[in-house]
Structure 1
Amino acid sequence: MPEIEVTHVGSLPRTQEVVDFIFARERQEPCDQAAFDAAMTKAVSGTVKRQVDAGVTIVSDGETSKISYATYVKDRYTGFSGDSPRNAPADLKLYPTFLKRLAESGGTPKYARPMCTGEVRPKDNGELEKDIANLKAAMTAHGAPRGFMNAASPGVISLFLQNDFYPSRVAYLAALADAMRAEYEAIVGAGLDLQLDCPDLALSRHMLFNDLSDDEFVKIAASHVEALNHALENVDPAKVRIHICWGNYEGPHVCDIGMDKVFSTLMSARARYVLFETSNPRHAHEWTVFRDRKTEIPDDKILVPGVVDTTTNFVEHPEVVAQRLDRFIGIVGADRVIAGSDCGFGTFAGFGAVDPEIAYAKLAALSEGAAIAGQRA
């Protein structure tokens, strides 16, 4: 009877103390660094404990110290200043009354998105090392056997922090790949799994590349994976996870490119673990893509379908979770399936559609459902 491992995409709700510290730094207000560091250490420990208590077997630090999964790089790398243009997803533009309602209700996060205006190089500020130390200490304290840490992909950085320095998109991606390489290698070198967040492989189709055909966009996405693979050339793919999504927001999503279109590109990444959405109503049917293209899934790939949604406060019944997992177990076998979430529960600091307590209830349901699926596999 196989045991189905349980994980999630990475970000989790942050405490108010953490949010206050992060936004004080975002506003460039004076900050007591020792107090900031102590708050992050305490919060990561609490976050890991709650994951363990919920039955999560592969934990993260919840991206506690980061303002967001992509724009945190502006604080850790040189070359970013000013502000990037905002561009609402195409599906929200089709429904302006809904977009207006989101904006007026505070349903869209507000944070700095500078442009790339100079050479991108790592700063020596020790932020990554602190994150790694906090996660490893919390894992030891709370008995978590395995952990992962998120990092932005070159493609998603180029989506949110747009280029105004390098001569071309390709040159910018190459520079980002070279700059991020050390971060990726440090995470794996510390004994953690590395997760690359790559919504640029799907979300950017209806955010930045509306004027292209699907086939033209797929070529862009392939160039993003090429840059990512270059950055990962010294990293064992068995330690790498890649996450693709179409935007972690409640909305119509009628402009989302289909999984079938980006499937081959996704499978070409140097990553053993593939995390993707299968719970939300726009992509729940796409498990059939994996069924119908089973022969195109490399034998070493492990599928991590999102079997709980991250944009609603419904807590999935464990049997629903199990049934969703059953589909993928039937395709590649129980030893190549891990239970995951559609996306993160705290993609941006201080912002999330799901109540923090309900987020952990969803993780508990995820664990219970994985146990059911394992028992009948």
Structure 2
Amino acid sequence: MAHIKTTHVGSLPRTQNVVDFIFAREKGELYDPAAFDVAMASAASETVRRQVEAGIDVVSDGETSKISYATYVKDRYTGFDGDSPRNAPADLKLYPSFLERLKDDGGTPTYARPMCVGEVKSKGQGELEADIANLKAGMAAHGATEAFMNAASPGVISLFLQNDFYPTRDAYLAALADAMRDEYRTIVDSGLMLQLDCPDLALSRHMLFADLSDAEFVKIADSHVEAMNHALDGIDPSRVRVHICWGNYEGPHVCDIDMDTVFPTLMKVDANQVLFETSNPRHAHEWTVFRDRKAEIPDDKILVPGVIDSTTNFVEHPEVVAQRIERFTDIVGADRVIAGSDCGFGTFAGFGAVDPEIAYAKLAALSEGAARASERL
């Protein structure tokens, strides 16, 4: 019997104790660094345990220690200070009453997003090495054999931490690529899979570049991929996964660029595994893009479709999950499909649309659905 592996996008709900420590550090408040380290190690281990219990094959640390998947960079690299302009996604601007509701609910986090005001240089890999050690300790304790570690792509950093130092966007991307290179290699050299988070390849279309045409945006997205591939130079693509999304928030998403439009850009990334949304109501139909453009999918690409939605507290029926998986195994074969989630469940520390217990119930449904699909293959 074939075995369809299971994974997810990376972030998972954090405990209140972890959130309190993260925000104490974020706000410059006094806290006990030793207690911080103990809390992160304990929480990462428990996060691995719960993933294993839910039947997830390729686990992560849940991004336990990070304030968010992109802005954590400001703490690990020089050159960032002040605050970047905040620009709501275009779809939310079309429905201002809903945008206000999100703000009132804490759905538009106002964490620090400093500008790039100086040369971007690594402060060292100490925090990353601690994250890696915590994840590997959790794996050893709970029997996980495969895992990945998230890292921000140069493009998504440029989206949230905007440039006010380098002469051009391309120069900023190049500097970010050079700076992030060691982080990427440290993850791969540790034996973990590297996951690059790239919502800039879709989300930024209606967040930062809404005034451009689709063709103009695709040129920018292509430049982001070029920068990312430069940073990945020398890294085995089989050790890399890339995640694209249109923004991990419940909203109208009526301004999302089509997968069909960004599909060629996504296929250019030097990563064998491609993670993408295909469960939420705005993108569930786009599995047909992969069917209709099968000839354009490189033979070494492994598809990791999101078969559970990360923005709703509905727990998907395992049969729905199985059917979603089978759409892709019918296209590229069972050996080139891993079942994943649309996005993360803890994109920002302290905020998540999905209740923590329900998030793990959804992961369990993901695993059961993958088992059903495997039995039928």
Please give the range of the TM-score, normalised by the shorter of the 2 chains: over 0.9
Question: What residue is the counterpart of 2:211 in the other structure?
Answer: 211
Aligned twin of 1:370: 370
Q: For structure 2, list consecutive stretches of 5 or more residues without a partner in the other structure.
A: none
TM-score normalized by structure 1? 0.99
Between the aligned residues of both structures, percent identity stands at 80
Cα 1:125–1:339, aligned 2, differ >3 Å: closer, same or farther? closer
Any idea what SS the aligned residue of 1:25 has?
helix
1:125 is displaced (CA, Å) by 6.2
Distance 2:124 2:316 in 1: 43
Which residue in the other structure is 1:329 paired with? Answer: 329
Question: In 1, are the aligned partners of 2:106 and 2:351 still within 8 Å (CA)?
Answer: no
Give the match for residue 19 of structure 1.
Answer: 19
Letter in 1 for 2:201: L
Q: Which position in structure 1 is the counterpart of 2:317?
A: 317
User: Partners of 1:274 and 1:333 in 2: how far apart?
Assistant: 15
Give the corresponding residue for 2:289.
Answer: 289
Q: Which amino acid in 1 is paired with 2:214? A: D
* Unmatched tracts of structure 1, length 5 or more: none
CA contact (8 A) 1:195 1:243 kept: yes
**Which digits, 9 at most, give the CA deviation of each residue in 1:199-226, with x for residues without a partner?**
0000000000011000000000000000
Alignment deviations for residues 307-330 of structure 1 (CA, whole Å, 9 cap, x no partner): 000000000000000000010000
Instruction: Find the residue that maps to 2:234 and give its secondary structure.
Output: coil
2-structure distance, mates of 1:301, 1:2: 18
Any idea what the Cα deviations from partners look like across 1:260-297, whole Å, max 9, x if unmatched? 00000000000000000000000000000000000000
1:184 has 2:184 as partner:
yes
> Helix, strand or coil: the match of 1:151?
strand
The count of corresponding residues between Structure 1 and Structure 2 is 377
Task: State the shift of 1:30 in Å.
Answer: 1.5
Q: How do 1:27-38 and structure 2 match up within 5 A?
A: 27-38=27-38
What SS does structure 2 have at the residue aligned with 1:23? Answer: helix
Distance, in Å, in 2 between the alignment partners of 1:125 and 1:291 is 41
Residue deviations 1:164-191 (CA, integer Å, cap 9, x gap) = 0000000000000000000000000000
Aligned-partner residue type, residue 41 of structure 1: A
Q: Which amino acid aligns with 2:259?
A: M
Distance 1:158 1:304 in 2: 25
Corresponding residue of 1:58? 58
Cα distance between partner residues in 2 of 1:5 and 1:105: 35
The one-letter amino acid paired with 1:26 is E
C-alpha deviation, 1:124, in angstroms? 2.7
- Give the whole-Å Cα distance in 1 for the aligned partners of 2:320 and 2:167: 49
Aligned equivalent of 2:357: 357
Q: Is 1:196 matched up with 2:191?
A: no
Task: State how far apart, in whole Å, the 2-side matches of 1:126 and 1:18 are.
Answer: 19
1:40 equivalent to 2:30? Answer no
2:297 paired with 1:308: no
Are 1:341 and 2:326 counterparts? no
What CA distance in whole angstroms lies between the structure 1 residues aligned with 2:152 and 2:323?
31
CA distance in 2, matches of 1:178, 1:125: 14
What SS does the corresponding residue of 2:124 show, helix, strand or coil? Answer: coil
For 1:80 and 1:31, locate their aligned partners in 2 and report how far apart those are by CA, in whole Å: 23
CA RMSD, aligned part only? 0.6
Whole-Å separation in 2 of the counterparts to 1:68 and 1:58: 21
In 1, the alpha carbon distance for the partners of 2:229 and 2:80 equals 24
CA distance in 2, matches of 1:125, 1:219: 32
Does residue 133 of structure 1 match 2:133?
Answer: yes
Residue in structure 2 matched with residue 89 of structure 1 by the alignment = 89
CA distance in 1, matches of 2:24, 2:3: 43
1:175 aligns with 2:157: no
Deviation by residue 1:14-39 (Cα, 9 ceiling, x = unmatched): 01000000000000011211110000
The residue identity in structure 2 corresponding to 1:315 is V
TM-score, length basis structure 2:
0.99
When residues 151 and 125 of structure 1 are mapped into structure 2, their CA distance, relative to the original with a 3 A threshold, is closer
Which contiguous aligned blocks of 4+ residues in structure 1 show a shift greater than 4 angstroms?
A: none
Question: Given the alignment of the two structures, is residue 261 of structure 1 paired with residue 261 of structure 2, yes or no?
Answer: yes
Rounded to whole Å, the distance in 1 between the matches of 2:108 and 2:93 is 14
Equivalences for residues 108-123 of structure 1 within 5 A: 108-123=108-123
